[in-house]
């Protein structure tokens, strides 16, 4: 990677310093710091004193970097990498924890859990526009939640501009964006206030026409061939453009009236079928819909000695796929047909195999939590969260297995792809004590106790200590246990050659030990360092050669993370982090141990923002993701490391309250790939090359 342009970019910022309106910029930065410090006090979000490892990113700062959405923001987090699969269900991987599974982390939008039930993931929210986000709080490690939600590897709390405090009014905003792959986005948010009522509304629509070169597809590796039966479909393998396009809209409403609140979001997410549900390249217009809608109602009351929060809600999501599953001419066997001699007769599908798969899930939940702080030095939190999940609708249509006719046949009852009676009840009891032993030393003792319809997680403790030696030196020690319940896909998928579920799966479990040291240099300059050890049990996995989901792996993972945020001059912002992770994986069925696969051992991320004056800022964003080993049975070379550079410029017109940002991403057109499992896409999953984005934001 040639870094000369980075150096030149930084020097450009310094050389223009003599033209900067220094005093005005310094005043603006000072005002911003006063603002954030006061908000931190109100929200108790001063991350350095929280009893876990937390990083906080602010939306307005991310906008200057040309960050477009939540996914790109999460790529900045220490220890976080991204992974995908053949349907392009992307997910962040925290500290190398099971990169082949979803649900490793939990996502909250304004404190509402939004992970979908089908995957236990949130790919439909990764495209959430950054202009709609006020702040992102990312906790690494399992010990972040004791209020009825188990975060296995980390948790992400996205705070929109619905958050509002007296003296910190939110301006209304109008946003338009245009970029590569014919990307278009338009949106707004607006606040309506009276003395007792506050209503916040946000809306956006976005779409693109992204296609990325891919292949040869999985048929080239023997997917859907059967040597025993003499079936060889490898000749039908194709290379071409994978349809990764997006169409999405979202409407969110947050309402507060006295002590009552309501939170609602309708999110309709549609994406191209990517690399094919059955590992064969699909048609350009094949698609997957992932709607995710919720409504939450609640009541909050706070006094000097206690606070009470009671809330309940409904969330519905769906997996809705319509695609050409396999190409013209394939031979296939599913519901077996025999000749008079008892020999299996393969069926030839001259026009290919088509399918429509639909499963709609509903979650009902209710929680009550009481926080009691009348005993000096102690704050007790006690409560429960009850969830009831079930599949409320399922359809399965496929080409005719009997004669190979491409016309769809309804197999919902005779050959379903999913258990239409899937259901699960879960109740979690929580207790926590925040104990301030002295102004310098505090402890947190807590636990969750969970029971489910299937395998109970049981008792899971969390203990942490925060010691403030002085203002400049803070130490943290943490121990916690947590788990991840199997997702709907892992439990209830049926009659599928790529994935077969099981209700006998154990939850994935983790036991974590963490130690952190924070060195504060000033109110906004610090170094945060931490080391961790994670003992993971019963990690869930399947493969092309064995489609059944099973508890296959135990892994021991350890590493370190370093994070710096501060300034070089009085008119800039600097952020740098580095993470290292390593460990061993024990394959339980084969009783053997190997190195961790599909994870980057080394990652480094950095950005630099230089404010030339009150109107113009320049920024650079650099990311290095190290190489990734394959599993021992995969003979391919390791996944190559890559380094990307983004450059952005922002012009802000203070008089008319608008700003324009121009961003050039992956400037040197690096070959970015996410690893594919063995015997699928042999050349992995290629990601975006060089691209651009223009953003216009108008405030009112």
Residue 17: both structure tokens together: 């310093």
pLDDT single digits (tens) 312-348: 999 999 999 999 999 999 998 766 555 556 567 788 9
- What pLDDT is recorded for position 353? 95
Task: Please indicate whether residue 44 or residue 406 has the higher confidence score (pLDDT).
Answer: 406
Output 362 or 34, whichever has higher pLDDT: 362
d(CA 189, CA 20): 33
Q: Are 435 and 444 in contact (CB under 8 A)?
A: yes
The tens digit of pLDDT for each residue in 454-463 reads 999 999 999 9
3-state secondary structure of 18: helix
Strand stretches in 334-422, DSSP E: 347-349, 353-372, 378-399, 408-410
Question: What's the sign of the alpha-carbon dihedral 189, 192, 198, 199?
Answer: negative
SS3 of 285-323: the string is CCEEECCEEEEEEEEEEECCCEEEEEEEEEEEEEEEEEE
Partnered with residue 389 across adjacent β-strands are 363, 424
- pLDDT of 20 > 60? The answer is no
Q: Is the pLDDT of residue 44 over 50?
A: no
The H or E element containing residue 199 is strand 197-208
The sign of the CA dihedral 3, 4, 6, 10 is positive
Structure tokens that stand for 444 in this block: 């947190």
pLDDT at 302 over 80: yes
Closest to 696 in 3D by CA, of 9, 82, 129: 129
Quick one: pLDDT at residue 447? Answer: 92
For residue 146, what pLDDT is reported?
63
CB 698 within 8 A of CB 658: yes
Longest Cα–Cα distance of the chain, Å, equals: 92
Range of 152-166, 244-258, 534-548 with top mean pLDDT? 244-258
pTM of the model: 0.92
Q: How many domains does the chain fold into?
A: 1
Radius of gyration of the chain (CA): 26
Q: Contact, 696 vs 176, CB < 8 A?
A: yes
Rounded Cα gap, residues 55 and 59, in angstroms: 13
Q: How distant, in Å, are the alpha carbons of 578, 623, 627 from that of 642?
A: 15, 8, 8
State residue 4's pLDDT score: 42
Question: Where does the pLDDT of residue 564 fall: very low under 50, low under 70, confident under 90, or very high at 90 and above?
Answer: very high
End-to-end CA distance of the chain: 43
Other CB atoms within 10 A of residue 396 CB: 23
- What pLDDT is recorded for position 91? 93
Interior/surface letters 43-55, b for 16+ CB within 10 angstroms, e for the rest: eebebbebbbbbb
Residue 467 in tokens: 């010691």
Please state, in angstroms and rounded to a whole number, the distance separating the CA atoms of residues 513 and 295.
36
CATH number at residue 344: 2.40.170.20
pLDDT at 84 over 60: yes
Question: What's the pLDDT score for residue 102?
Answer: 86
Residue 467: pLDDT over 90: yes
- The average confidence (pLDDT) of the chain is 90
Q: What is the pLDDT of residue 650?
A: 98
The rounded percent of the chain whose pLDDT value lies above 70 is 91
Which residue bears the tokens 């079936």? 231
Q: Are strands 105-109 and 154-160 parallel, antiparallel or unpaired?
A: parallel
pLDDT tens-digit map of 367-425: 999 999 989 999 999 999 999 999 999 999 999 988 899 999 999 999 999 999 999 99
For residue 57, pLDDT over 90 is answered with yes
Q: What is the 3-state secondary structure (H, E, C) of 561-629?
A: EEEEEECCCCCEEEEEEEEEEEEEEEECCCCEEEECCCCECEEEEEEEEEECCCCEEEEEEEEEECCEC
As a whole number of angstroms, the distance between CA 490 and CA 593 comes to 24
Domain of 411, in residue numbers:
4-699
> In the 8-state DSSP scheme, what is residue 633?
T
pLDDT value at residue 142? 85
Confidence check: pLDDT of 630 > 80 = yes
Q: Is residue 269 scored above 50 in pLDDT?
A: yes
The alpha-helical segments, DSSP class H, found in 95-225 are: none
pLDDT digits (tens, 9 = 90+) for 191-229: 999 989 999 999 999 999 999 999 899 999 988 888 877
Contact by Cβ (8 Å): 538, 506: yes
Burial group, residue 616, by CB count within 10 angstroms (0-12, 13-18, 19+): middle
DSSP summary character for residue 124: G
Task: Determine the pLDDT at residue 332.
Answer: 83
Q: Which residue has the higher pLDDT, 552 or 170?
A: 552
Q: The tokens of 590 are what?
A: 């084969």
b/e for 506-524, b at 16 or more Cβ within 10 A? bbbbbbbebebebebeeee
Cα gap 156→413, rounded to integer Å? 39
Cα–Cα distance, 571 to 281 (Å, whole number): 50
Reading the block at residue 449, the tokens are 């106790």
Q: Cβ distance 585 to 593 under 8 Å?
A: yes
């Amino acid at each position: 990677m040639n870094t000369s342009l980075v150096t030149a970019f930084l020097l450009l910022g310094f050389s223009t310093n003599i033209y900067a309106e220094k005093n005005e910029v310094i005043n603006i930065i000072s005002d911003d710091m006063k603002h954030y410090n006061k908000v931190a006090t109100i929200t108790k979000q001063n991350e350095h004193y929280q009893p876990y490892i937390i990083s906080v990113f602010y939306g307005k700062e991310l906008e200057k970097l040309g960050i477009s959405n939540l996914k790109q923001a999460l790529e900045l987090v220490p220890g976080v990498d991204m992974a995908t699969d053949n349907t392009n269900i992307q997910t962040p991987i925290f500290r190398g924890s099971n990169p082949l599974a979803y649900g490793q982390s939990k996502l909250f939008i304004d404190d509402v859990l939004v992970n979908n039930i089908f995957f236990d993931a949130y790919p439909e929210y990764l495209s959430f526009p950054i202009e709609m986000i006020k702040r992102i709080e990312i906790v690494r490690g399992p010990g972040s939640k004791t209020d009825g939600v188990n975060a296995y590897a980390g948790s992400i709390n996205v705070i929109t501009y619905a958050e509002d405090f007296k003296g910190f009014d939110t301006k209304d905003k109008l946003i338009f964006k245009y970029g590569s792959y014919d990307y278009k986005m338009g949106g707004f948010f607006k606040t309506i206030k009276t003395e007792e009522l506050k209503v916040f509304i946000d809306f956006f629509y976005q779409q693109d026409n992204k296609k990325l070169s891919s292949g040869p597809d999985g048929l080239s590796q023997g997917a859907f061939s059967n040597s025993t039966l003499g079936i060889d479909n490898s000749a039908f393998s194709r290379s071409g453009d994978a349809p990764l396009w997006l169409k999405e809209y979202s409407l969110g409403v947050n309402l507060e009236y006295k002590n009552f609140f309501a939170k609602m979001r309708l999110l309709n997410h549609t994406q191209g079928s990517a690399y094919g549900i059955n590992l064969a390249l699909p048609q350009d217009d094949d698609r997957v819909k992932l709607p995710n809608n919720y409504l939450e109602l609640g009541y909050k009351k706070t006094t000097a000695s206690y606070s009470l929060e009671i809330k309940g809600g409904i969330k519905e999501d769906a997996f809705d796929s319509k695609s050409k599953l396999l190409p013209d001419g394939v031979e296939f066997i599913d519901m077996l047909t025999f000749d008079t001699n008892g020999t299996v007769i393969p069926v030839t599908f001259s026009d290919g195999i088509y399918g429509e798969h639909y499963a709609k899930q509903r979650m009902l939940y209710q929680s009550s939590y009481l926080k009691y702080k009348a005993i000096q030095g102690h704050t007790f939190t006690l409560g429960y969260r009850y969830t009831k999940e079930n599949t409320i609708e399922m359809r399965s249509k496929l080409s005719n297995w009997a004669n190979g006719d491409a016309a769809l046949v309804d197999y919902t009852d005779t050959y379903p792809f999913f258990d239409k009676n899937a259901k699960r009840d879960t109740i979690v009891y929580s207790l926590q004590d925040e104990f301030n032993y002295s102004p310098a030393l505090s402890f947190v003792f807590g636990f969750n106790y969970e029971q489910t319809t299937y395998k109970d997680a049981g008792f899971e403790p969390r203990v942490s200590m925060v010691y403030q030696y002085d203002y400049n030196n803070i130490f943290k020690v943490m121990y916690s246990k947590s788990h991840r319940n199997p997702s709907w896909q892992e439990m209830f998928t049926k009659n599928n050659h790529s994935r077969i579920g099981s209700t006998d799966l154990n939850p994935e479990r983790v036991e974590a030990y963490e130690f952190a040291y924070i060195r504060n240099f000033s109110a906004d300059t610090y170094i945060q360092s931490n080391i961790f050890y994670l003992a993971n049990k019963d990690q869930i996995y399947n493969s092309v050669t064995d489609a059944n989901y099973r508890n296959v792996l135990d892994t021991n993972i350890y590493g370190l993370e370093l994070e710096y945020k501060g300034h070089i001059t009085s008119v800039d912002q600097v952020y740098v982090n580095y993470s290292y992770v390593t460990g061993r994986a024990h394959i339980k069925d084969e009783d053997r141990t190997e190195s961790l696969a599909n994870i980057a051992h080394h990652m480094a991320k950095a950005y630099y923002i230089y404010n030339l004056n009150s109107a113009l800022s320049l920024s650079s964003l650099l990311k290095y993701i190290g190489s990734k080993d394959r599993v021992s049975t995969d003979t391919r070379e390791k996944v190559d490391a890559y380094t990307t550079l983004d450059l952005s410029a922002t012009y802000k017109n203070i008089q008319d309250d608008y700003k324009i940002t121009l961003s050039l991403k992956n400037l040197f057109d690096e070959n970015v790939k996410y690893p594919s499992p063995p015997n699928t896409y042999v050349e992995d999953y290629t990601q975006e090359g060089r691209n651009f984005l223009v953003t216009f934001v108008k405030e009112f």
